[in-house]
Amino acid sequence: MKPNSPPPLGVVLVNLGTPDAPTPQAVRRYLRQFLSDRRVIEIPPILWKIILNLFILPFRPKRVAKLYASIWQQDSPMRAILLEQAKGLQGLIAGYLPTQTKVRAAMTYGNPSVDSVLTQLRAEGVEHIVVLPLFPQFSATSSAPVYDAVQRWTATQRNLPSISIIKDYFAHPSYINAMVASIRDFRARHGSAQKLLMSFHGIPQPYADKGDPYPKRCRCTAAQIAQALGLKEDEWAISFQSRFGKQEWVKPYTDKLLEQWAQSGVESVQIVSPAFSADCLETLEELAEENKETFLHAGGKHYAYIPALNTRPDHIQLMAELVTPHLKAYWQNMPYYSEGMTIREYR
């Protein structure tokens, strides 16, 4: 006997995470969870526990909380944007399938957690879930923890849904096109600059040496964007930001490169970060403010930050293009539910 109505499907958009408030207490909770992940920090656990509890958590949260306070509005920008992205995607894909698709937002660290969102979707009868980590370039430090979070949740479930996880989309044509359109739109309003710097969140060099594909994916993304923009070799560069600790990270470093450019006579720079799907502390404070000060102090004259894709329509369209094939494939392989029903072609 067939069910009276087909089960709903689910989509979970996942970003890294954010504190619940711009306070030292909330930041400490967030940093403890984030920096305790063995994917993020590969220092021997006993040694790292000492460093984390004696040298980082007692001091760093107060300073970081002030930085969050400088960009905080009614909520963390990352969480507010993620919720709007989920809402936009929900509206865009409504009606693509002969059953309801529920789109939710989740964070690897902080709230709403991956665990709570998956539990909620399952309670609502969702039979298939597509998880989209919003990290265009896969890294074991950012994307892989999403896999880990999903796995931890599945280990607690008896009646599991079908789950698809999209690895990344660093070279997807619609992603490249959206980045190019964003840069062109910004330049149409503000003019161009001598240099375009594409800055990606860094990872320690030993992680790359062990096989993390992230740096290669970043370089591929940057090269495709530069080519689509028609930039000459001396008009753009790639760099890596947000170093932490004393070990060597993937180079070149964003702050050091900006300093070198300014000292060599480069007067104007525009900077964009294709690694971030939503503006956050690393873009709004580090890229837009801290690195601006570095460039101007070293002799540069004009510096501008180009915002992340955030809730641009072409960004939401990209998300739809990424998740819809997985939703369709599941539905088409479920004749128990889909007999006699047709799937609208994606537009």
Supply the DSSP string of 15-28, one letter for each residue: EEEE-SSSSHHHHH
Q: Residue 278: how many CA atoms within 13 Å on its side-chain side?
A: 24
Chain region(s) in the chain for CATH 3.40.50.1400:
9-170+313-338, 173-305
Q: DSSP per residue over 297-317, as a string?
A: HTT--EEEEPPP-TT-HHHHH
pLDDT at 46 over 90: yes
Strand partners, 259: none
Do residues 117 and 24 make contact, with C-beta atoms less than 8 angstroms apart? no
User: At 336, is the pLDDT very low, low, confident or very high (cuts 50, 70, 90)?
Assistant: low
Strand ranges (DSSP E) for 2-152? 9-18, 101-110, 128-133
Separation of first and last alpha carbons in the chain:
34
**Least reliable range by pLDDT among 12-16, 54-58, 329-333:** 329-333
Average confidence (pLDDT) over 108-124: 98
pLDDT in tens, 193-222: 999 999 999 999 999 999 999 999 999 999
pLDDT of residue 3: 52
**Is residue 147 scored above 70 in pLDDT?**
yes
**pLDDT tens, residue by residue, 57-112:** 999 999 999 999 999 999 999 999 999 999 999 999 987 877 789 999 999 999 99
**Mean pLDDT score, 263-288:** 98
Q: Which fold has domain 173-305?
A: Rossmann fold (3.40.50)
- The whole-number average pLDDT for the span 279-303 is 98
Q: Which band of pLDDT confidence, cut at 50, 70 and 90, is reported for residue 6?
A: confident
Cis status, amide bond into 45, omega within 30 of 0: no
The pLDDT assigned to 337 comes to: 53
Give yes or no for residue 180 having a pLDDT over 80.
yes
The pLDDT of residue 211: 98
Provide mean pLDDT across the span 254-260. Answer: 98
Distance CA 317, CA 93 (A): 9
Q: What percent of the chain has pLDDT over 90?
A: 89
Mean pLDDT of 24-49: 96
Q: Is the pLDDT of residue 340 over 90?
A: no
β-pair partners for 253: 240
CA distances from 35 to 20, 141, 289 (A): 16, 11, 25
**What is the architecture, at CATH level 2, of domain 9-170+313-338?**
3-Layer(aba) Sandwich (3.40)
